[in-house]
Amino acid sequence: MTSEDTQPDLPAIPPEPEPSEFSESEEAREPRLRPRERRILQAIAVLCVVPLLLSVQWVDESNSVEKNLKPPEKVTTVQPGAIGELAGAKWKIMKRAAAQPLAIGGQQDSSGVTELRLSVGFRPENAAAAKAVGSGFAYRLVDDEGREWSATGTADGKAQVGVAMMVTITAKVPRSKADSLELEIEAPKTSRKKGDPLASLRFEH
């Protein structure tokens, strides 16, 4: 037996082709953006950035306008049981009470909101103050953190100069804060002279 019989011919392995100078490298084969595609992506980026810049500018301008429109304030604190003077009138809190929870279907209202009612003595010293008691003065209730709840004031009759009367101030407030909120009365904006702060009273409780 010859060596040809024990070692049959194996198929020849073709040699690896030599790299051609025209073959592309891995980096060359990676897709590249065409000029038109690049311009489209740039346009999309600009469209995304411009609204953001406009919104920031709008917020800055809104804050600036609000600061310019809102006049400075001068708040005078009134001790419990004391009389405060504001815009030609004298004010004093006479009574304070929160409404009891309503019973609905045999169960008490659990909404957490109540009506706070304050009876405030009011005596106008001039005709402007007597006229402003219904709509000129602004009423609100505030807490120690600066949060506010608007209130309405209703006179028990027609105000007369030099005559004391009662003004009922009511507001819907959180029941948990009804005992701690303080009343603020703001003078009519028409009573403020140009350059002067807008006066208001804050009754401590």
**Is 4 part of a structural domain of the chain?**
no
Q: Which tokens go with 42?
A: 């740039």
Q: 64 and 82 share a domain?
A: no
Q: 52 and 132 share a domain?
A: no
Residue 194 confidence (pLDDT): 80
Q: 78 and 65 share a domain?
A: no
Q: 98 and 173 share a domain?
A: yes
Write out residues in the chain with pLDDT < 50, as ranges.
Answer: 3, 21-24, 26-28, 56-62, 65-67
Domain that holds residue 53: 26-69
Say if residues 139 and 169 touch (Cβ distance below 8 Å).
Answer: yes
Place of tokens 């045999």: 106
Q: 198 and 150 share a domain?
A: yes
Judge if pTM exceeds 0.75. no
Strand partners, 198: 73
Q: 53 and 90 share a domain?
A: no
**Is 5 part of a structural domain of the chain?**
no
Q: 78 and 162 share a domain?
A: yes
Of 69, 89, 123, which residue sits at a domain end? Answer: 69
Q: Give CA–CA dist 194/70, Å, rounded.
A: 13
Residue 92 confidence (pLDDT): 97
Of 69, 99, 121, which residue sits at a domain end? Answer: 69
Q: How many domains does the chain have?
A: 2
Say if residues 169 and 126 touch (Cβ distance below 8 Å).
Answer: no
Q: 87 and 169 share a domain?
A: yes
Q: 40 and 129 share a domain?
A: no
Please report, for residues 12, 40, 44, 67, the alpha-carbon distance to residue 53 in angstroms, rounded to integers and kept in the order given.
70, 20, 15, 21
Q: 58 and 108 share a domain?
A: no
Q: Going edge to edge, which strands form the sheet with 84-86?
A: 73-78, 198-203, 182-186, 138-142, 148-155, 165-174, 113-124, 89-98, 84-86
**Is 54 part of a structural domain of the chain?**
yes
Q: 156 and 178 share a domain?
A: yes
Say if residues 201 and 156 touch (Cβ distance below 8 Å).
Answer: no
> In this structure, what DSSP letter does residue 146 have?
S
**Is 2 part of a structural domain of the chain?**
no
Q: 83 and 62 share a domain?
A: no
Residue 191 confidence (pLDDT): 80
Q: What is the pLDDT of residues 89-114, one digit of tens each?
A: 999 999 999 887 655 555 555 568 89
Residue 56 confidence (pLDDT): 47
